[in-house]
Amino acid sequence: MGTLFKNVSWAIKSVDDNNPIPPIQKPRGYGGVAILWKDSLNHIVEKVDDGSERIVCIKLNVNPRPILLICAYMPCRGTKHANEELKDCLDQLHEIIVKYSGKYTPVLCGDLNCDLINGSTTSARQSWLKEFIQTSNLKFRSMPLTFIHPNGHESSSIDYILTHESINAQVYNTIRLDMLHNNTSDHYPLLTEIEMELKLKHQSDQPIKPQKVNWDKIDISKYEAELTTRLDRNPIDYTADPLAIEKLLDIIKQSQDSVVTIKKPSKQRNKHIWNDEIGLALIENKKALYQWRQEDKPVDGETMQKRKKTKKALRRAIGGRRLLNKEMNLCKPL
């Protein structure tokens, strides 16, 4: 994993980790679960040693309430003990959620190997999963088909992101990423956005980087005059005073600060806006752009008109969200 991603940490398991077959006979690349995060978030991530080789968990120590992130890969249909293995996984997930429910809000994602959206069939697997979801107070948003059959056609929705009902208001966006041309899997990735407050890393753990001074832009004569004045005002006994060097450095630093303009970091808040309507409009716009480029960027025609139409729809969605935010801000009590 480290050869594929830089500055990233992970928790990972393979479904055949506990398989008694010798390593040289194991079919590698069969399946597994993994959670990756940036190294800069290590201070809020805690690995959890719960669940079988099909379940991996981490704790996210965020506000307003910590999150228990669970990734699961459910057994496929067709094997002799598939139903027993599925029920065993559901029992494990239930135990994990109950175990940490006192402090952590669960978020479950992964390949459930069961279509929960297709209402034309009702299997035992579907009933068990729906009962587990209801008992655990989990919710999911209806998605387009996520699995691609070997014949090349999209066939079912078996990948999900399940969030606890208590954070429904914090879940802003859940979409299928179908424009990733480097995706070689037979599953579409899913993306969701959950609002949370990250805890900053303790300041003492971060290296202090001194600000570089561009002396070409400094009035040297003014600096010399300031330094001379401070040295005359605060004489230092270099032979008897053990703190003479420290005092001299303080005077030099004070003189430098008096002539150097320090740029303060911007406190402007991120005004990024997003919702499901914008996400879907963006996907359609990217599709239209891709089709237009495939036809060598014609100045007119069907693909050009579709590109203009989807761009207009995207702008309308963004504008509508901005207007709604503005109205909500006006309604806030002073």
CATH 3.40.50.460, domain 8-194, yes or no: no
Q: What average pLDDT does the chain have? A: 86
Q: Residue 216's pLDDT is what?
A: 82
pLDDT band at 10 (very low <50, low <70, confident <90, very high): very high
pLDDT at 167 over 70: yes
pLDDT category of residue 20 using cuts at 50, 70 and 90: low
Per-residue pLDDT at 257: 85
* Residue 107 confidence (pLDDT): 98
Determine the pLDDT at residue 183. Answer: 84
Ranking 135-139, 173-177, 208-212, 263-267 by mean pLDDT, the lowest is 263-267
pLDDT of residue 181: 79
* Between 268 and 101, residue with greater pLDDT: 101
- Answer whether residue 106 shows pLDDT above 70: yes
What are the residues facing 70 on neighbouring strands? 57, 108
- For residue 189, the model assigns a pLDDT of 93
What is the reported pLDDT for 209?
Answer: 64
CB 143 within 8 A of CB 117: yes
Lowest mean pLDDT among 38-42, 200-204, 314-318, 324-328: 200-204
Question: Is the per-residue pLDDT at 252 higher than 80?
Answer: yes
Question: How confident is the model at residue 133, as a pLDDT?
Answer: 97
Least confident span in 78-82, 161-165, 219-223, 313-317: 78-82
pLDDT of 14 over the 60 cut: yes
Mean pLDDT of 88-103: 96
Strands 159-164 and 105-111, sheet pairing: antiparallel
Asked if residue 304 has pLDDT above 60, the reply is yes
In the chain, pLDDT over 90 holds for what percent of residues?
Answer: 47
Q: Say which residue, 111 or 259, is predicted with more confidence.
A: 111
Of the candidates 106, 111, 222, 243, the one whose C-alpha atom is nearest the C-alpha of residue 165 is: 106
